[in-house]
Amino acid sequence: MKNVKITVMKITRYDDLIREYENPQDHPCDMKEGDVFISEGWTKPDGFCNSAWESISSFVMTLSCGGSDIYDGWMKNPKSAMISCNDGFRPVSFLLETVE
């Protein structure tokens, strides 16, 4: 299996939704733009958010097993994918890239 580099590209925050619907949280997301994680094969990197891992792990598995062109031509690099976590209050966008 190949390693997959996971880079935090963007973190969006919807303060209006947070105020109206979310219970107070101490630190719901510890990731920062520019953070880089390496998944060795299909293994969740240390310190990686469990919820975000559930959102991206199937794409990491595909890339780590040699898959490519996940979006059927959308990505300039066919051995990559742009995937977001499922947090509706502060979604995080990740760039996944196969490490050759």
Q: Dump pLDDT digits (tens) for 45-86.
A: 999 999 999 999 999 999 999 999 988 889 999 999 999 999
68 in any annotated domain: yes
69 in any annotated domain: yes
83 in any annotated domain: yes
82 in any annotated domain: yes
- Domains identified in the chain, total number: 1
Residue 100: per-residue pLDDT: 81
Range of the domain at 74: 3-34+44-99
Nearest to 43 by CA among 28, 56, 30: 56
For residues 46 and 74, give the distance between their C-alpha atoms in angstroms, rounded to a whole number: 30
39 in any annotated domain: no
